Amino acid sequence: MDNNLKSKTYDELIELAAACGQKAFTAKYLFTFIHQKDAADIQDITPLSKAFRQKLTDDGYTISGIELLEKHDDPDGTIKFVFELADSARIEAVRLKDGKRNTLCISTQAGCRMGCKFCATGQLKFQRNLTAAEIVDQLYQVEKYCGKIHNVVYMGMGEPLDNFDNVMASVSILNDENGRNIGIRHITLSTCGLPQQIRQLSTSPLQPRLAISLHAPNDTIRKEIMRVAAKHSLHDLMTALKSYQSVTNKRITMEYCMIDTINDQVHHAKELIRLLRPLKVNVNLIELNPFAGCPYATSSNNQIRRFAQTLTDAGIETVIRFKRGQTIKAACGQLGATWLKDKE
């Protein structure tokens, strides 16, 4: 049981208050003080009676946070934050600057089970899922240095849908009007493609944006570069996405890492077009970001543009995401790369 009050949604705090014989409004005090005013101790929530505060403490409830260990700045404005958790596990989060707006890429697991070959995090040993408190606290800590975060992308370390319950609790917390009140359209979940969880997401009362780490137009290539493809075929994934879209009618973002000669040829683009035709999608082409031991090379800029033009000519909205934060190992696929190098 997670006794950190920061992990609990507003509805869960209402249930907790009722179980303690308190009125529902006490839950609002708890939630707003924790998620709006960054209360770090139950005793700091002074609108609550001393008796109730003491009962929460006696029952083992806490308000604990993660510790900032390092902060790295890239010349392009990207900032990487390294956090340590209570059990000494470490995670990273990345702030991206877009004009006056801040986007935060947050982690959902310490390590990752998925093992994608082009991703440094996938080469690290999986340690555990993060709690909802550890997920949202990344944002709270970063805001102390960068100001308000406008967009949240669950694209950091770990597979978000492999930690479904804690991730969705964190989405609820960040979206709640009594907390940070981040609009649900400004929250994106990225997954390598877990069909069952995608279907589960389609029936969730909260509907963040969905992004799929696709990276290949066929099963042969996908199995070579992504371990998850051995368990879930593209047919299974596309069937789940069609079901998701039939329920939500939401556009899906397809993320596609450009790997030299492996998946970046024009015939690959044409195969990708045929695969995506049944769906309402847009495509983000991402430059491969190298790390120690990565077996692949980055596609040339000309090849990436040729690939993008092929998709665009077919009517698929396509954006090229060029490297950001690479000098501090904060670009896509590089989180945890420093630890991997140390390990080697």
Three-state secondary structure readout of the chain: CCCEHHHCCHHHHHHHHHHCCCCCHHHHHHHHHHHCCCCCCHHHCCCCCHHHHHHHHHCCCECCCCEEEEEEECCCCCEEEEEECCCCCEEEEEEEEECCEEEEECCCEECCCCCCCCCCHHHCCCCEECCHHHHHHHHHHHHHHHCCCCEEEECCCCCHHHHHHHHHHHHHHHHCCCCCCCCHHHEEEEECCCHHHHHHHHCCCCCCEEEEECCCCCHHHHHHHCHHHHCCCHHHHHHHHHHHHHHHCCCEEEEEEEECCCCCCHHHHHHHHHHHCCCCEEEEEEECCCCCCCCCCECCHHHHHHHHHHHHHCCCEEEEECCCCHHHCCCCCCCCHHHHHHHC
Q: Is 143 a catalytic residue?
A: no
User: Dihedral angle at the C-alpha atoms of 195, 199, 205, 207, nearest 10 degrees?
Assistant: 60
Q: Which of 105, 119, 192, 332 is catalytic?
A: 332
* CA pair distance 186, 335, nearest whole angstrom: 22
Q: Are 104 and 142 in contact (CB under 8 A)?
A: yes
Other beta carbons within 10 angstroms of residue 31's beta carbon come to 24
Dmax (CA) of the chain: 69
C-alpha count within 13 angstroms, C-beta hemisphere, residue 150: 8
**Is 112 annotated in the active site?**
no
Active-site option among 92, 134, 159, 287: 92
Q: Which of 203, 118, 202, 197 is nearest to 165 (CA)?
A: 197
Active-site residues, by number, are 92, 332
